[in-house]
Structure 1
Amino acid sequence: MTSLTRRTMLKALAATPAIGSAGAVIGMPLVARAAEYELKYGNNLPLTHPLNVRAQEAAARVEAESKGRVVIKIFPNNQLGGDTDMLSQVRSGGLTFFTPSALVIATLVPVAAINAVGFAFADYDQVWKAMDGKLGAHVRAAISKVGLHAFEKMWDNGFRQMTTSGKPIESAADMDGLKIRVPVSPLSIAMFKALSAAPASLQFSEVYSSLQTRIVDAQENPLPIIQVAKLYEVQKNCALSNHIWDGFWFIANGRSWKGLPPDLQTIVSNAINDAGVAQRGDIKALNQSVQADLTAKGLAFNQPSPDSFRAKLRDAGFYSEWKGRFGDEAWGLLEEAVGKLA
């Protein structure tokens, strides 16, 4: 497998052409004869992101193992529209595959947001224990009820970390009154309110200027996003809080998936799941290299214990409220992997 470097991943790309399974530009011949099944895959990330690098490998493997019967064409970088557009297209069958983050598909399948419960996961071992295990199976079953097929292995979108322009965040007490930008997500807003912060829902395009002008004093995102957006220029400290983990579900239109013969389903499933596991390793390595780079650029890091944050959320009734929203069964499966929360 090709190793991925931070430089490769973080090249800012403009819209790139759709690519075929071997990485060829559409219009160039991939196989001598037309494929029996031409499958379209859309996503919102640049072609150089580990998700697309591994998806290309999976597509090439599918074409080879199916002897040209199946070709997957990849449309990266929002070529086919935003997340809402692509979710609609994969439901209608206009798109075969899509990789929404859990928070995106949660607009359709609410329980899918359960992996983003605040301070639920201590580390990746707990994440994959849950999402490769019973909790993931529970969410996939819910996804299947809306006419979609979710593959067994989630792809990684990373842990979110908190940065500040003022003092570092060492414990939940440092959240009191903190003006922090958060995504437009009910779960995120509820969590920061429960921590006594003052969350402001802003579009990502507004984050840098809002930090620069002190409309907000803090923000939270995965480390590669903090680097790409140059937020280190307007922030001083970064708490490696791991307060939310999010991943990508690799989903297929249910009718299209059932229309594939069983032998081809096996080939496609194996290729996509194996590529997802490889992508997880890519993101882990990327985060380590990005932290070193951000340190060199002057961002100071600290690693707070999750204990005070969990206690504050518990006392504020956050966990009890969301246990009620997600249901006892899903919540029980989460706690089976991470320990008692509510």
Structure 2
Amino acid sequence: MQVSISTRLRLVLLSFVLSLSMGAGTVSAQEAAQYLLRISTENTAGHVQTQAIERFGRRLEQASNGRIDVQFHHSAQLFRDRDVIAALSSGKVEMAVPGMWQLDRYVPDVGLYMLPLFYGRTAEENYRLRDGEVGNLVSRRVESDLGVEVLGRWLDLGHAHLYFTDRPVKRHEDLAGLKLRIPGGVANQARLAAFGADPLVVAWPDLPNALERGQVEGVLTTHETVRSAELWRTGVRFSFEDMEYFAQYVPIINARFWKSLSPELQQLLRDTWEEVVDDQRDAAANAQLDARAALLAKGVKVMVPDAAALAEWRAVARQQEPSIIRQMGLDPALVEKAAEAMEN
């Protein structure tokens, strides 16, 4: 079959256009693979923290026009939070959002929020300080001590309270002599000891057996954790909702990865993170409320001390604060600044 010159010309032109479009596609693909952002967290897929980070990742990929490839790994698929700081430092992962209780061993000033100063404080009181000047100072110290970038405001887990098996606690005086499981920490130990309790460190997997055998009579944790672990099956029947401390998660990024980004992309990460924080905090609060309702439905009785009692016993626990500050290695000037901001 003969092909006319005009047809040949059209075929050559078509081939040239296709080669250009394929070349453009190749460039786009190269741009899409410019940055790899691996995010690690140990919470499961259904956790409000996990869901917020997943939303952040999806939005970031879209907003960056594919220049940042986000690979999100939950349920400790890459690392447990206790190991993720080392993984960040070695470049095995670019981002993590560990609980603040994982960081104070590296950055003592993160332990500020565990002090008796914060006992019985509402979420709003915590936000006023943590999202302000003092919170920024703590985040900057995380950055300098760990060699990371703190992306923005911290995500919420919520308040930790006290839970008991056989003895209802209706007032602080009822805590005297009770053996209470704590996860560890100088501040947890000193705060509960100041209330007359006997705090004991028990590994979480050993807790159900310790409760059933009466080795401990209560536990420091959250409504959501009691619900997920179904601790009523191991004898938990009472709660004292005293807002022992307010737990959060810290968004940290590998410094080398951060510095490799253009200022435009750095700002994009910050803006995209900021978009998810308020919704996550609302979701975390709702999750704790739903968990509280579930505990009530299972017959757990919840006692709520009034604001005057919380303030009175906060003052009692704060008498131990100078010793706690020394043991934890906190910056006294930072604590003083936090106290001034909290009391004003």
Question: Normalised by the size of structure 1, how large is the TM-score?
Answer: 0.85
Give yes or no for contact 1:40–1:95 (8 Å, CA) kept in 2: yes
Cα separation, 1, equivalents of 2:183 and 2:44? 21
The residue aligned with 1:37 is 35
Does 2:318 match 1:319? no
Give yes or no for contact 1:161–1:241 (8 Å, CA) kept in 2: yes
Does 2:208 match 1:204? no
Deviation of 1:119 (Å): 5.9
Give yes or no for contact 1:210–1:216 (8 Å, CA) kept in 2: yes
Counting only pairs closer than 5 Å after superposition, residues 92-241 of structure 1 correspond to structure 2 as 92-118=90-116, 120=118, 122-146=121-145, 147-233=147-233, 234-241=235-242
The residue aligned with 1:46 is 44
Cα separation, 1, equivalents of 2:269 and 2:57? 8
TM-aligned CA distance change 1:309 to 1:166, over 3 Å: farther
TM-aligned CA distance change 1:180 to 1:293, over 3 Å: same
2:261 alignment partner AA = L
2:194 alignment partner AA = A
Give yes or no for contact 1:171–1:308 (8 Å, CA) kept in 2: no
**Secondary structure in 1 matching 2:66:** coil
Cα separation, 1, equivalents of 2:173 and 2:312? 8
1:260 alignment partner AA = L
The residue aligned with 1:265 is 266
Give yes or no for contact 1:102–1:115 (8 Å, CA) kept in 2: no
Cα separation, 1, equivalents of 2:277 and 2:72? 15
Give yes or no for contact 2:190–2:324 (8 Å, CA) kept in 1: no
Cα separation, 2, equivalents of 1:137 and 1:283? 22
The residue aligned with 1:60 is 58
2:95 alignment partner AA = F
**Secondary structure in 2 matching 1:177:** coil
- Unaligned stretches of 5+ in structure 2? 1-27
**Secondary structure in 2 matching 1:306:** helix
Deviation of 1:85 (Å): 1.7
Cα separation, 1, equivalents of 2:324 and 2:133? 19
Deviation of 1:296 (Å): 0.8
Give yes or no for contact 1:184–1:203 (8 Å, CA) kept in 2: no
Deviation of 1:284 (Å): 0.7
**Secondary structure in 2 matching 1:77:** coil
Deviation of 1:128 (Å): 0.8
> How big is each residue's C-alpha offset from its partner over 1:256-281, in whole Å with a ceiling of 9 and x where there is no partner?
11111111111111111221221101
**Secondary structure in 2 matching 1:89:** helix
- Unaligned stretches of 5+ in structure 1? 1-30
Cα separation, 2, equivalents of 1:114 and 1:251? 18
TM-aligned CA distance change 1:168 to 1:312, over 3 Å: farther
**Sequence identity (%):** 21
Cα separation, 1, equivalents of 2:164 and 2:49? 29
The residue aligned with 1:14 is none
Give yes or no for contact 1:148–1:254 (8 Å, CA) kept in 2: yes
**Secondary structure in 2 matching 1:145:** helix
2:143 alignment partner AA = S
Deviation of 1:80 (Å): 1.7
Does 2:248 match 1:244? no
Cα separation, 1, equivalents of 2:336 and 2:152? 20
Give yes or no for contact 2:170–2:240 (8 Å, CA) kept in 1: yes
Deviation of 1:94 (Å): 1.4
Cα separation, 1, equivalents of 2:289 and 2:86? 35
Cα separation, 2, equivalents of 1:319 and 1:172? 19
Moved more, 172-181 or 38-47: 172-181
Deviation of 1:107 (Å): 1.2
Bigger helix fraction: 2
Give yes or no for contact 1:208–1:229 (8 Å, CA) kept in 2: no
1:250 alignment partner AA = P
The residue aligned with 1:339 is 343
The residue aligned with 1:292 is 293
Give yes or no for contact 2:151–2:269 (8 Å, CA) kept in 1: no
Deviation of 1:32 (Å): 5.8
Cα separation, 1, equivalents of 2:133 and 2:100? 16
